[in-house]
Amino acid sequence: MVKLLAGVATLLLATLLLASNALAEDWQRPDCSTFEEFSACRNAERNDYRRQKQQEFRANGLSFWYYERPDFSENKVVEKALKDKVEGALFFSFSVERDGSVSAVELSKKSSEEVAVYAGPILAAMKNWQFVPSEKSWANQEWRYQFFFEPEQCNEDTQEESCESGSDSGHGKQKSLLVEK
């Protein structure tokens, strides 16, 4: 029985890894067309993902005690990337020890080389995460961060790629940026 469950868990993990690999390789900016405000879309994406992950953790018996947000300030390279509106997704793997501390925090996948510029502050923050201690350790956990910006309003004079019909590639000029504060 235990063996069977372990097998299911491995299969699930493999499926998730495949899914996140695919997402990382073919990352697209989330569709915000149903939102009136871009900021609302950005917040919803962030909150929905965190809610889904935390509920998933909790259902498995792993509960967050302290979630630290990445601090992107006072980092010139990151600030430039934000200014340049570099978009994409980063996937991090980590383990949770029995005492609730986090170890083996690594950048596992990225949608592009450029977006990896944000990884430093995220790794620093994740190392401070704390979970409620439990009877076992939890290896190979995953967390995702996405960076996307509001597309430039299109008009007749706009020559940008993002204004071409049907484009949602996430490579266009952006108006505002995603920074978790």
Partner 1 sequence: MKIKSLLGFAVLAAGLAGATACSGPTAQPQVSDEQAKPFASLGEMPVPFEDLFRPLAYSNIRISPDGRHLAAGKVRDNGLMDAVIIDRRTMEITSSLEMAGNMGVADIRWANNERVLFSFSRKSALAEGAGNFSIAGMNVDGSRKDVIWRGSNDYGGNESAMLSGKIDDEHFRVVVYPSGSSTNFPLNYIYKLNIYTGKSTRIARSPIRLSQPIFKKGEITHWVGRLANSFDHTVVATREDDGGWEETVYDNSKGVFAPVAWTNEDDWMWYSDTIEAPTKGLYKVNVKTGEKKLVYRHPKVDYSQTYSDDDGNPWGALVNYDYPEVVYLDEDNHYAKTHKQLQGTFPNSAIQIVNRTADGNEWVVHVASDRHPGTYYLYNQFDGAMKELANRAQWIDPAKMPATHPIRFNARDGLEINGYITLPVSKEAKDLPLIVLPHGGPHGPRDYWTYDRESIRFANAGYAVMHVNYRGSGGYGREFLFGGYGKWGREMQDDLTDATYWAIQSGIADRERICIYGASYGGYAAMMGITKESDLYKCGIGYVGVYDLNIFMTEGDIPLREAGRTYLKAAVGTDPKERARRSPAANTDRIQAPVFLIQGKRDVRVHWAHYEAMRDALVAQDHALETLVAPRAAHGAREEDSQLEIYCRMIDFFDRHIGDGKPTDAPADDCVPAGALGLEYKYYEGVKRG
- What does the binding site for partner 1 look like in residue numbers (CB under 8 A)? 47, 50-51, 54-55, 57-58, 63-69, 97-101, 128, 130, 132-133
We find the least distance from the C-beta atom of residue 113 to partner 1, in angstroms, to be: 31
Minimum distance from CB of 105 to partner 1 (Å)?
Answer: 14
Q: CA–CA separation, 44 vs 89, rounded Å?
A: 16
Beta bridge partners of 64: 131
Closer of 44 and 116 to partner 1 (Cβ): 44
**Which of residues 35 and 64 has its CB atom nearest to partner 1 in the complex?**
64
Closer residue to partner 1 in complex, CB, 27/145: 145
Among residues 68, 78, 36, 30, the alpha carbon closest in space to that of 179 is found at: 78
Nearest distance from C-beta of residue 75 to partner 1, angstroms: 18
Of residues 68 and 114, the one with the C-beta less far from partner 1: 68
Q: Give the list of residues 6+ apart from residue 174 with CB closer than 8 angstroms, or none.
A: 85, 87, 148, 149, 150, 151, 152
CB of 69 to partner 1, least distance (A): 8
Rounded Cα distance, 50 and 81, in Å:
24
What residues form DSSP beta bridges with 146?
A: 89
